[in-house]
Structure 1
Amino acid sequence: MLETDVAGTAEPARPPGGNRDETMLRLPIGALLPADSPRLQGEDHEHVRALAEVDEDLLPPVVVHRPTMRVIDGMHRLRAMELRGRDTVRVCFAAGDEDPFVLAVQHNIQSGLPLSLADRTAAAARILGLHPYWSDRRIAAVTGLSGSTVGAIRVRSTGNSAQSNTRLGRDGRRRPVGHGAEGRVRAARLLRENPDMPLRQVATAAKISPSTALDVRDRMRDGRDPVPDKLRNGHHRRKKPTPDVPAPRPAPDWESDLNQLRVDPSLRFTDTGRFLLRLFDARLLGHGERAQLVTSVPAHCRMTVARLARVIGTAWHQLAAELEQCHRNRAET
């Protein structure tokens, strides 16, 4: 892999990782458009100052959306280079040409200063507005939320507006939503007219899933109504009132606390303080990082990793209790 500067020379470069082009360039900062950031509070100036003190070679390159030259991930790093008086910055291009905002959310979930729960919730609502046909799971994968949380956001953000009867999944395939009575009635009519029609053809024509088409056929063969009682109400599903879904509680702002510790001289310039900061950097996990680990740890290692995670968690819990007790004792004296 090579890094190319604006003059066209090349030198070895560190692999950027993630969904990025393998070539790194050094481009003028003025040639880049600022990120359409998912961060509700904007850039963290303390984090920028902390990054400005780090050797640029130790930082990942700024990720850029090639079609628009808009920053996808790395505005804090770019601002840090500006603070140091640089007029160029190392960049690499995001793979693919998907929506820049979606790419920005994905990259910020996977690396850098983590997005807060409020950031990710707002991002999910915005993506629902941009891509209403995307499935809850697809949006959840982008934002680091659960599918059920995205579903609740969909209910709140769309209200009584018309909903598509299909969703576009992560694999690019469209699938029907729900198994309504209307689709079952259409499927039953098709099967009466042509009992040998393939189920997939029935499902496509009736706008239901193949599994629902199979259930309709089995019910008809058994002499049962193709529409179950729970779905029958004038051939419409009885709709239950949508309960009020409480807004997610904001997560503890540990990113801000950690950034304050990073710039505290009593920690930065002592061996014990630097050791503590390294421990935090290694062991504090954002939601997206946890979700990635849960899905990527091999099955035969899961219980061992879980046990070790509990041991580490217990040790940190004990440290917290001892620090709090020490603080209380000091306050009483």
Structure 2
Amino acid sequence: MSEHEAFDRMMVVEVETGSLAVAGSPRTSGVDQEHVAALAVVQTPLPPITVHRPTMRVIDGLHRLRAAELRGERKIAVKYFDGAEEDAFVLAVESNVTHGLPLSTADRKRAAARIIASHPQWSDRMIASVSGIAAGTVADLRRRESGSGADQGSRIGHDGRVRPINGAEGRRIASELIAQNPTLSLRQVARVAAISPETVRDVRNRMMRGEDPLTRRGRQARGADGTAAAPPRLGRAPSAVLAKDSAQDRAAAVKRLKADPALRFSEIGRTLLRLLSVHSISVEEWEQILDKVPPHCRGVVAYLAKESAEMWSEVAVRVQSKVAETA
């Protein structure tokens, strides 16, 4: 992200109500006049509305806008969103799901179908979290949609990770890596096979028991003769894959996180992304930085680096514990 964030919750400006557009709302039923009347009599200032700056279209706060007009006010407090129109629609849906007058179930489904078309790389769970419907419903909508990216080999999950739609290939690669080098860690294998460390653990346990590393669902994807369809071969030897620059993995992970609206559209989320982006620079860049550290500063830099490493280790432990709590 540039220093001018796509969405800055701290900046509020006053805008002429007549300059705002209201088309394109995910709410197909239009304005609820009773809700507008209820807002119009509220004595305390209402929260600023959210507006897509390039189009001046109201993303969130149509009822607040109508309430201001009903009170005869010519200006209204606004927070601007500078992202793409597709992302503006996602924000509009998420905002109307999490607060205010909720969207109807039909509107949520229509919104989910539109997000499937505009963000086909997002997983069913990720779209479900934005649109406020079940992941299974999103999957049904995706199957009905043509040209929605259903044939993609992987999707971005709600946690920002890219996972294959069919995990059988990842399990096969993991089993080969484990067989060739049993000392590899779960995370090393997971990174190469593009599956989770827990899936790698399951693959390893199955192999130790002498079982097929593929699940029943994965075996059903095999050919009619009962053997696995010829999978794509690893382009490089496993050792070469594992030796790739880990900075590329970190940069790719941060990029996936930046696609998650739960982080992009919150102040705390953007702060986290900025912190993580610092650590996604390449090994070559680190070497240049280290070479330029003045001799009299090296001790302090080493101390701060060590303290930062310990802090991030604590962050990793605490976040991982939260993952375990929700698993």
TM-score by structure 1 length? Answer: 0.54
> Alpha carbons of 1:110 and 1:29: their partners in 2 closer, same or farther (altered >3 Å)?
same
Deviation at 1:43, TM superposition (A): 2.9
Please list, as runs of the form range in 1=range in 2, the aligned pairs for 1:225-304 lying within 5 A after superposition.
225-228=212-215, 231-233=218-220, 235=222
> Does residue 75 of structure 1 match 2:62?
yes
- 2:97 equivalent among 95, 109, 118: 109
Counterpart for residue 26 of structure 1: 14
> Does residue 217 of structure 1 match 2:204?
yes
**Kept in 2: contact 1:33–1:69 (CA 8 A):** yes
Specify the code of the residue in structure 2 equivalent to 1:188.
S
SS at match of 1:30: helix
Deviation at 1:70, TM superposition (A): 2.7
- 1:89 equivalent among 76, 81, 91: 76
Please list, as runs of the form range in 1=range in 2, the aligned pairs for 1:142-161 lying within 5 A after superposition.
142-158=130-146
Unaligned runs of 5+ in 2: 1-6, 227-327
SS at match of 1:92: strand
> Does residue 183 of structure 1 match 2:174?
no
> Alpha carbons of 1:63 and 1:179: their partners in 2 closer, same or farther (altered >3 Å)?
same
Please list, as runs of the form range in 1=range in 2, the aligned pairs for 1:192-211 lying within 5 A after superposition.
192-211=179-198
SS at match of 2:176: helix
Mean CA deviation greater in 158-167 or 182-191: 158-167
Counterpart for residue 159 of structure 2: 171
1:100 and 1:59 map into 2 onto residues whose CA distance is 21
Deviation at 1:106, TM superposition (A): 1.7
Specify the code of the residue in structure 1 equivalent to 2:107.
D
Counterpart for residue 258 of structure 1: none
Deviation at 1:218, TM superposition (A): 2.6
Deviation at 1:51, TM superposition (A): 5.3
**Kept in 2: contact 1:21–1:95 (CA 8 A):** no
2:200 and 2:185 map into 1 onto residues whose CA distance is 10
Mean CA deviation greater in 130-139 or 60-69: 60-69
2:11 and 2:198 map into 1 onto residues whose CA distance is 46
> Does residue 60 of structure 1 match 2:47?
yes
1:96 and 1:170 map into 2 onto residues whose CA distance is 20
Deviation at 1:39, TM superposition (A): 0.9
Specify the code of the residue in structure 2 equivalent to 1:64.
V
> Alpha carbons of 1:166 and 1:60: their partners in 2 closer, same or farther (altered >3 Å)?
same
2:38 and 2:186 map into 1 onto residues whose CA distance is 59
SS at match of 2:167: coil
SS at match of 2:145: helix
> Does residue 133 of structure 1 match 2:127?
no
2:104 and 2:216 map into 1 onto residues whose CA distance is 44
1:83 and 1:172 map into 2 onto residues whose CA distance is 42
1:153 and 1:140 map into 2 onto residues whose CA distance is 11
Deviation at 1:37, TM superposition (A): 0.7
Mean CA deviation greater in 221-230 or 21-30: 221-230
| CA-based RMSD | 3.5
2:217 and 2:97 map into 1 onto residues whose CA distance is 41
Deviation at 1:68, TM superposition (A): 4.7
1:78 and 1:108 map into 2 onto residues whose CA distance is 15
> Alpha carbons of 1:91 and 1:228: their partners in 2 closer, same or farther (altered >3 Å)?
closer
> Alpha carbons of 1:101 and 1:161: their partners in 2 closer, same or farther (altered >3 Å)?
closer
Deviation at 1:233, TM superposition (A): 4.7
> Alpha carbons of 1:41 and 1:190: their partners in 2 closer, same or farther (altered >3 Å)?
same
Please list, as runs of the form range in 1=range in 2, the aligned pairs for 1:11-50 lying within 5 A after superposition.
21-45=9-33, 47-48=35-36, 50=37
SS at match of 1:72: strand
**Kept in 2: contact 1:134–1:168 (CA 8 A):** yes
**Kept in 1: contact 2:40–2:70 (CA 8 A):** no
1:56 and 1:115 map into 2 onto residues whose CA distance is 26
SS at match of 2:77: strand
